[in-house]
Structure 1
């Protein structure tokens, strides 16, 4: 079988630094931890920070109540593993801080019996896929933007607040860290 010269071979665990990644992060046991918009804002502010620090370029996202999707590209000398680890650690710490301060019962839903932690917000081993082609990239952007529509949260994807859909469909610049995939 002839090798496709447009796609370099990657072993499991490798990624293409010169291509965007599609990432899905799920709350522990699909619990609706992100139902509180303040927790969505923690994710947004963290993405903004990473973008301004030139660690990532964020192309698209949607934040649902129990998971979120991103299309981002890791920048410069940073590695996907390090950026993703730091992002997920920071956001979980901030969410847990609010839950503990308010003595929210949700914090007890996030208790785990692990050596390295007492609470866990995110499922381990988030899905992360390098996007090789423009066609697949746009399919993933459409998939991300249709999540709230399919969940019955809005009629039109651009009406869902915690999404990049309005950026793509109407040029809404509320999320200043977003970069259009076409440049």
Structure 2
């Protein structure tokens, strides 16, 4: 497998102070919708993901001429704003747990400096896919990786592309 100049990245986004912000499925769905938008706009290709209650992992590849920093910033900002709007309307007491006294913001949903690692080979990419797909099993949320809905495991293990935006890392959709 030959990767283009820009390699896929394994990225971990952690909720501020590991709080369980993403426990409601509607916030997981928001992340999925945002990823679908980025794929349709040809900003990224998504090879794998898992969304847990307090963090999520992605394996994605930024598409030229876009830059990882800009795509990641815009993606996280949009998701945070949509969650904030929902919390204001429906769960104002929860929003208080994310208030901060910072110069540039009043709320913080994501831990700063998300972990992002370039994946230079298909072996490393496969290892990261296995790792993220095992997250829900290790957390006791399911018996098998493919049983957890908010994951790309079924795409790889059962050939089901329920989300419509996943690309197989070796070239197939």
Segments of structure 1 that go 5 or more residues without pairing to the other structure are 1-15
Q: What is the CA distance between 1:76 and its match in structure 2?
A: 1.2
Distance of 1:68 and 1:17 partners within structure 2: 25
Structure 2: 5+ residue runs without aligned partners?
A: none
Q: CA RMSD in A?
A: 1.0
Q: Report the counterpart of residue 34 of structure 1 in structure 2.
A: 22
Residue aligning to 1:133? 121
1:144 maps to: 132
- Which of residues 65, 74, 89 is equivalent to 2:53? 65
Q: Is residue 34–residue 40 contact of structure 1 (8 Å, CA) maintained in 2? A: yes
- What stretches of structure 1 move > 2 A for 4+ residues in a row? none
Alpha-carbon shift at residue 104 of structure 1 (Å) = 3.4
User: What secondary structure sits across from 2:111 in the alignment?
Assistant: coil
Q: Does 1:155 align with 2:116?
A: no
User: 1:17 deviation in Å?
Assistant: 4.9
More deviation in 33-42 or 99-108? 99-108
TM-score for both structures, normalised by structure 1:
0.90
1:178 equivalent in alignment to 2:163: no
Give the structure 1 partner of residue 99 of structure 2.
Answer: 111
Deviates more, 1:167-176 or 1:57-66: 167-176
CA distance in structure 2 between the aligned counterparts of 1:138 and 1:27, rounded to whole angstroms: 25
Q: For 1:154 and 1:116, locate their aligned partners in 2 and report how far apart those are by CA, in whole Å.
A: 39
Aligned match of 2:39 in 51, 59, 63? 51
Instruction: Give the C-alpha shift of residue 103 in structure 1.
Output: 3.4
SS at 1:70 equivalent: strand
